[in-house]
């Protein structure tokens, strides 16, 4: 099972709304989160190597998330699940809903993108692993599945290099950038995807209460970077550090 | 021999399968190149713009009226419908009233009626108000990108299949040289031409009728016009063009007057350079501001982008912009050839519609409606004409595909339409300006108030745009002021606002017919005009070995405006279509 999120396309120039409650999403191009694309690609490769029977794509959000699911189906997922939610969902809510879906579908492997490019939370994968009590391999740059032994070996990108973990299935993997290069959805596949099934749920049907413990207070643009100054001597540098930057 | 047989067999089976509306891949070529999937439709339309979508919508409407169905496929190289649409735009709903009469109830993004209409002649420091010769009552200030998105949704509701993110790069012919469809780009090829991990062969989209609506200087349309000699066939002159550079600003509430329309003439362009600017107030405190410069300018040091930056500092324009922010930036070329340049639009297997053929009426200020009579020197877009042209093409195509009629009825329908009449009446305004600004104005005034085109004289165009550029030694470099970062900006900053992106690891889509010409001719003789007219800074001369300057093509920046394809003095630059989904991401242009 792969989760995919509909986010503002990475190439779009983001603007903060005048009332500072968020960013402008109206009339803005939305796409599948790049890390989710990588997750889906990995799942498809696992299926194509014969180690999995089915890839289910899951997306949670407003009805337009279905467009993103269709793209996932066009890439090769077999069926989709859409959980309709019009308010923004925080990682904990997503994880709780995902837990219910996992209980229904019983996948052997759960693959997510490491983070969404709109909120950069990097939490959902870790949270669902905790809720399900499954092992997790996050920031995966290589995934090797051994179906016989029911074990997956994950190379993780960590600050001091690569860490290799061996996880018993079922497990949770979150994908990092270097794992693979996602395939293009071809035109014939896009056409075929229109007839692939998408099952709809609402959080209420799944008995999950979406209660947010977080409230966005304000969204502002980062401060404009001032241009640098070339100093002409060491004395001038010391003077600036002392009197302007106040660091010595 | 085998290939001939397989083509022949394929075309026979196609006829049968189309009537059943099937889209079963029926590939199998007997050649060594990798097999492409082939998908069959009744009508294939290239380009989801106003002309293409109105043709698609009209086709489906005709199907319903006649109790039949045709499969219609629209391909769009932009990542979504509307992403590559840029226009002024002051819209006259005349054509839309015919196509989709319930547009208001269906919440079309046409909500800001024109509230005022001004026309200024600018000098460096002043703005002289001239009587407005337009009648914009009943028209609207819109974003064409938004309108096209809405039209796309309407088309899909009627059963049209629209596929954004797919670029038609090749025309498919049968053994009789008849067009049978198009082929999309292979995706996943790296810069050096090798196949990447995610290489995907393109597909063949075949149609019993292929309509090309790629917009101005469409890459496939240009190929088709050459192949079938469509200009000679239509008795047409060469096409002439202009480059429009546009920004959408969000301005202070007090300064915003929804529906206010302004056009200017004069400064910053000199009397030898045709063009002007526009400033339209849309809704939500947004304004559309742009400069249109004819591409037959002579001074190779001219930089249309910088002229636009200068314009924004004019004392009459500046006040609107102060305190505002730029939301989007973009650029696109447009046709100015008018009546004299309309090629014969029908070819075996299809037709060229919209700006790819060139039905733009230059003295029409109102973009979309071709029936405007006015003495303008600029034009913004051309919605109603495009919609009408799309509709006429659809009617002819329906007859051709459904009843076996001749597609050439399209040419007859065009010539009997009000579009033809209007373009004929407006034919002499633009060519008059080859004599200079004042003679041009005088002749235009004569045409507009007295003659109204009712005389047998048809002025010819001057030289083709690319030949009009003088050698650099005849001119001196123009000094443009540095951008101040508040009203004027450098190209990278503006480009960032166009949401332009391309997969960087692909072969550059801007091809040089002869790779030596830039350093041998463009640079020494013309001082590299491509480094100035390109509004995206694709072309840069950088120091290479031995301190010589070498052309660097930053294809990833490309806005798909086609200025280079038009203006390169030796016509050495060929614009080809990059991987689908790349290019600008316009949403309010």
User: pLDDT tens, position by position, for chain A (248 residues)?
Assistant: 999 999 999 888 888 888 888 898 887 889 999 999 999 999 999 999 999 999 999 999 999 999 999 999 999 999 999 999 988 889 999 999 999 999 999 999 999 999 999 999 999 999 999 999 999 999 999 999 998 999 999 999 999 999 999 999 999 999 999 999 999 888 889 999 999 999 999 999 998 888 888 888 999 988 887 777 788 889 888 988 888 888 87
Locate the chain A residue with the closest alpha carbon to B24.
A188
Residue B539 in this model has a pLDDT that exceeds 90? yes
Q: What is the phi/psi pair of residue B210, to 5°?
A: -120, 120
The rounded distance, in Å, linking the Cα atoms of B584 and B496 is: 10
The rounded distance, in Å, linking the Cα atoms of B495 and B557 is: 7
The rounded distance, in Å, linking the Cα atoms of B214 and B219 is: 8
Average pLDDT over residues B130-153: 87
More confident residue, B179 or B404: B179
The model's pTM is: 0.87
Which residue is associated with the tokens 């269709």? A70
Residue B12 in this model has a pLDDT that exceeds 60? no
Rounded to a whole number, what is the distance in Å from the CA of A180 to chain B's nearest CA? 9
Question: Which residues of chain A lie closer than 8 angstroms to B83, CB-CB?
Answer: 29
Residue B5 in this model has a pLDDT that exceeds 80? no
Band the pLDDT of B375: cuts 50, 70, 90. Answer: very low
Q: Which residue from A11, A13, A188 is facing B39, i.e. has the nearest CB?
A: A188
Whether A13 and B163 lie within 8 Å, measured CB to CB: no
Band the pLDDT of B418: cuts 50, 70, 90. Answer: confident
- Per-residue pLDDT tens digits for B484-497: 989 999 999 999 99
Contact in structure between B308 and B269 (CB atoms under 8 Å): no
Contact in structure between B357 and B423 (CB atoms under 8 Å): no
Contact in structure between A147 and A51 (CB atoms under 8 Å): yes
More confident residue, B417 or A6: A6
Whether A184 and B188 lie within 8 Å, measured CB to CB: yes
Please name every residue paired with B347 in a beta bridge, in sequence order, or none if there are none. Answer: B350
The rounded distance, in Å, linking the Cα atoms of A43 and A4 is: 12
Mutation to test the A interface, candidates B164, B492, B585, most A Cβ within 10 Å: B585
Q: Which of the residues B63, B73, B216, B534 is marked catalytic? A: B534
Per-residue confidence (pLDDT) for residue B442, from 0 to 100: 78
Question: Which residues of chain B lie closer than 8 angstroms to A180, CB-CB?
Answer: 197
The rounded distance, in Å, linking the Cα atoms of B2 and B8 is: 10
Whether A181 and B198 lie within 8 Å, measured CB to CB: yes
Whether A191 and B161 lie within 8 Å, measured CB to CB: yes
Whether B80 and A13 lie within 8 Å, measured CB to CB: no
Question: Which residues of chain B lie closer than 8 angstroms to A28, CB-CB?
Answer: 587
More confident residue, A146 or B382: A146
Q: Which of the residues B58, B332, B427, B430 is marked catalytic? A: B332
Question: Which residues of chain B lie closer than 8 angstroms to A13, CB-CB?
Answer: 496-497, 499
Locate the chain B residue with the closest alpha carbon to A12.
B499
Locate the chain A residue with the closest alpha carbon to B22.
A191
Closest CA to B393 of B369, B417, B411: B411
Rounded to a whole number, what is the distance in Å from the CA of A103 to chain B's nearest CA? 34
Whether A186 and B203 lie within 8 Å, measured CB to CB: yes
Average pLDDT over residues B168-176: 94
Rounded to a whole number, what is the distance in Å from the CA of A89 to chain B's nearest CA? 26
Percent of chain B's residues with pLDDT above 90: 55
Q: Which of the residues B54, B71, B87, B273 is marked catalytic? A: B87
Please name every residue paired with B539 in a beta bridge, in sequence order, or none if there are none. Answer: B553
Is B73 an active-site residue? no
Band the pLDDT of B94: cuts 50, 70, 90. Answer: confident
Question: Which residues of chain A lie closer than 8 angstroms to B39, CB-CB?
Answer: 187-188, 191
Q: Which residue from A12, A182, A183 is facing B499, i.e. has the nearest CB?
A: A12
Inter-residue long-range contacts of A57-60, CB under 8 Å, 24+ positions, other chains counted:
A57/A2, A57/A3, A57/A4, A57/A81, A58/A1, A58/A2, A58/A3, A58/A4, A58/A82, A58/A83, A58/A98, A58/A101, A59/A3, A59/A4, A59/A5, A59/A6, A59/A83, A60/A3, A60/A5, A60/A84, A60/A85, A60/A89, A60/A94, A60/A97
- Per-residue pLDDT tens digits for B190-213: 989 899 888 888 999 999 999 999
Question: Which residues of chain B lie closer than 8 angstroms to A191, CB-CB?
Answer: 23, 39, 161
Whether A11 and B197 lie within 8 Å, measured CB to CB: no
**Both tokens assigned to B82:** 């509307």
Whether B198 and A27 lie within 8 Å, measured CB to CB: no
The rounded distance, in Å, linking the Cα atoms of A167 and A110 is: 12
Q: Which of the residues B240, B273, B341, B368 is marked catalytic? A: B368
Locate the chain A residue with the closest alpha carbon to B83.
A29
Torsion sign, CA atoms A26, A29, A34, A38: positive
Q: Which of B130-139, B416-425, B474-483 has the highest mean pLDDT?
A: B474-483
Locate the chain A residue with the closest alpha carbon to B147.
A27
Q: Which residues of A touch B (CB under 8 A)?
A: 9, 11-13, 15, 27-29, 31, 180-184, 186-188, 190-191
Per-residue confidence (pLDDT) for residue B13, from 0 to 100: 42
Cα angle value A37/A41/A43 (rounded, 5°): 120
Rounded to a whole number, what is the distance in Å from the CA of B346 to chain A's nearest CA? 28
Locate the chain A residue with the closest alpha carbon to B39.
A188
Interface confidence, given as ipTM, is 0.82
Whether A187 and B497 lie within 8 Å, measured CB to CB: no
Per-residue confidence (pLDDT) for residue B340, from 0 to 100: 86
- Per-residue pLDDT tens digits for A127-146: 999 999 999 999 999 999 99
**Both tokens assigned to B565:** 């394809």
Rounded to a whole number, what is the distance in Å from the CA of B38 to chain A's nearest CA? 9
Per-residue confidence (pLDDT) for residue B545, from 0 to 100: 82
Mutation to test the A interface, candidates B38, B160, B165, B500, most A Cβ within 10 Å: B165
The rounded distance, in Å, linking the Cα atoms of B301 and B315 is: 25
Is B63 an active-site residue? no
Is B564 an active-site residue? yes
Rounded to a whole number, what is the distance in Å from the CA of B160 to chain A's nearest CA? 13
Number of residues written out for chain B = 589
Per-residue confidence (pLDDT) for residue B183, from 0 to 100: 95
Locate the chain A residue with the closest alpha carbon to B164.
A187
Locate the chain B residue with the closest alpha carbon to A182.
B198
- Per-residue pLDDT tens digits for B21-80: 444 444 444 444 578 889 999 999 999 998 899 889 988 998 999 888 899 999 999 999
Is B332 an active-site residue? yes
Is B28 an active-site residue? no
Question: Which residues of chain A lie closer than 8 angstroms to B496, CB-CB?
Answer: 13
Average pLDDT over residues B115-124: 91
Closest CA to A183 of B76, B201, B584: B201
Per-residue confidence (pLDDT) for residue A17, from 0 to 100: 87
Per-residue confidence (pLDDT) for residue B84, from 0 to 100: 95
Rounded to a whole number, what is the distance in Å from the CA of A69 to chain B's nearest CA? 16
Is B368 an active-site residue? yes
Cα angle value B213/B565/B169 (rounded, 5°): 45
| Residue B195 CB coordination number (10 Å) | 13
- Per-residue pLDDT tens digits for B496-527: 999 998 988 999 999 999 999 998 999 999 99
Whether B37 and A180 lie within 8 Å, measured CB to CB: no
Whether A28 and B587 lie within 8 Å, measured CB to CB: yes
Q: CB contacts < 8 Å between A and B, how many?
A: 53
Band the pLDDT of B364: cuts 50, 70, 90. Answer: low
Q: Which residues of B touch A (CB under 8 A)?
A: 23, 25, 37, 39, 79-80, 83, 146, 161, 163, 166, 184, 187-188, 196-198, 200, 203, 205, 327, 496-497, 499-501, 585, 587-588
DSSP for residue A33:
-
Per-residue confidence (pLDDT) for residue B91, from 0 to 100: 86
Q: What is the mean pLDDT of chain B?
A: 85
Residue B457 in this model has a pLDDT that exceeds 90? no
Locate the chain A residue with the closest alpha carbon to B146.
A27
Per-residue confidence (pLDDT) for residue B133, from 0 to 100: 66
Question: Which residues of chain B lie closer than 8 angstroms to A29, CB-CB?
Answer: 79-80, 83, 499, 585, 587
């Amino acid at each position: 099972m792969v989760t995919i999120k509909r986010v503002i396309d990475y190439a779009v120039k983001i603007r903060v709304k005048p009332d500072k409650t968020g960013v402008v999403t109206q009339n803005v191009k939305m796409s599948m989160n790049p890390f989710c694309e990588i997750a889906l690609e990995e799942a498809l490769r696992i299926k194509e190597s014969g180690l999995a029977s089915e890839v289910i794509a899951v997306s949670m959000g407003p009805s337009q998330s279905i467009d993103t699911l269709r793209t996932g189906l066009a890439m090769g997922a077999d069926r989709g699940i859409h959980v309709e939610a019009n308010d923004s969902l925080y990682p904990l809510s997503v994880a709780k809903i995902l837990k219910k879906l996992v209980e229904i579908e019983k996948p052997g492997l759960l693959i997510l993108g490491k983070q969404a490019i709109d909120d950069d939370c990097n939490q959902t994968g870790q949270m669902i692993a905790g809720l399900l009590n499954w092992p997790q391999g996050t920031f995966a740059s290589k995934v090797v599945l051994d179906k016989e032994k029911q074990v997956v070996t994950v190379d993780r990108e960590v600050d001091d290099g690569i860490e290799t973990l061996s996880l018993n299935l079922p497990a949770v993997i979150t994908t990092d950038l270097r794992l693979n290069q996602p395939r293009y959805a071809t035109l014939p596949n896009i056409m075929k995807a229109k007839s692939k099934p998408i099952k709809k749920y609402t959080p209420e049907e799944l008995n999950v209460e979406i209660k947010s413990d977080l409230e966005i207070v304000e969204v502002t643009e980062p401060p404009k970077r001032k241009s640098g100054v070339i100093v002409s001597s060491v004395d001038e540098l010391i003077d600036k550090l002392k009197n302007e930057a106040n660091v010595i | 021999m085998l290939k001939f047989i397989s083509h022949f067999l394929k075309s026979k089976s196609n006829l049968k399968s189309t009537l059943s509306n099937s889209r079963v891949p029926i590939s199998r070529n007997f050649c060594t190149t990798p097999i492409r999937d082939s998908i069959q439709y009744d009508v294939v339309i290239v380009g989801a713009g106003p002309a293409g979508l109105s043709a698609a919508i009209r086709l489906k409407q005709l199907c319903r009226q006649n109790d039949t169905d045709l499969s219609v496929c629209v391909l769009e190289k932009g990542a979504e419908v509307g992403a590559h649409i840029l226009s002024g735009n002051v819209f006259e709903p005349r054509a839309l009233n015919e196509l989709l009469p319930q547009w208001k109830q269906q919440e079309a993004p046409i909500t800001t009626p024109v509230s005022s209409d001004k026309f200024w002649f600018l000098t460096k420091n002043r703005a002289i108000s001239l009587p407005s010769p337009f009648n914009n009552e009943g028209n609207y200030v819109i974003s064409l990108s938004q309108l096209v998105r809405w039209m796309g949704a309407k088309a899909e509701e009627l059963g049209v299949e629209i596929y954004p993110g797919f670029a038609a790069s090749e025309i498919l012919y049968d053994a009789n040289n008849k067009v049978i469809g198009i082929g999309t780009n292979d995706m996943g090829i790296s810069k050096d031409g090798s196949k990447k991990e995610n290489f995907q062969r393109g597909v063949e989209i075949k149609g019993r009728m292929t309509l090309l609506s790629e917009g101005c200087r469409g890459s496939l349309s240009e190929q088709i016009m050459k192949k079938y000699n469509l200009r000679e066939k239509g008795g047409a002159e060469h096409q002439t063009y202009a480059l429009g550079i546009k920004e959408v600003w969000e301005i202070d509430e007090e300064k915003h007057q929804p529906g206010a329309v302004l056009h200017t003439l004069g400064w910053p362009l000199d009397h030898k350079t045709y063009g002007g600017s526009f400033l339209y107030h849309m809704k939500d405190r947004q304004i559309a501001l742009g400069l249109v410069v004819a591409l037959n300018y002579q001074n190779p040091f001219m930089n249309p982008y910088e002229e636009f930056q200068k314009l924004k500092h004019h004392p009459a324009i500046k006040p609107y912009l102060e305190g505002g922010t730029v939301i989007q930036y973009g650029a696109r070329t447009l046709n100015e050839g008018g009546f004299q340049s309309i090629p014969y639009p029908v070819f075996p297997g299809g037709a060229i519609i919209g700006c790819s053929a060139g039905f733009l009426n230059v003295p029409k200020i109102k973009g979309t409606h071709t029936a405007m009579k006015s003495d303008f020197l600029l034009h913004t877009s051309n919605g109603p004409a495009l919609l009408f042209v799309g509709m006429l093409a659809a009617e002819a195509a329906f007859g051709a595909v459904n009843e076996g009629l001749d597609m050439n009825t399209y040419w007859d329908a065009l010539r009997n339409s009000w579009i033809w009449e209007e373009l004929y009446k407006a034919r002499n305004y633009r060519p008059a300006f080859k004599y200079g600004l004042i003679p041009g104005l005088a002749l235009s005034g004569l045409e507009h108030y007295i003659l109204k085109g009712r005389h047998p004289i048809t002025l010819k165009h001057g030289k083709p745009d690319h030949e009009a550029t003088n050698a650099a030694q005849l001119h001196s470099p123009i000094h443009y002021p540095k951008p101040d970062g508040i009203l004027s900006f450098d190209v990278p900053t503006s480009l960032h606002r166009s949401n332009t992106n391309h997969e960087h690891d692909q072969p550059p889509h801007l091809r040089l017919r002869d790779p030596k010409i830039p350093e041998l001719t463009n640079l020494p003789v013309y001082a590299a005009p491509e480094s100035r007219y390109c509004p995206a800074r694709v072309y840069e001369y950088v120091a290479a070995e031995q301190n010589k300057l070498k052309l660097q093509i930053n294809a990833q920046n490309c806005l798909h405006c086609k200025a280079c394809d038009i203006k390169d003095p030796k016509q050495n630059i060929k614009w080809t279509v990059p991987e689908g989904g790349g290019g600008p991401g316009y949403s309010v242009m």
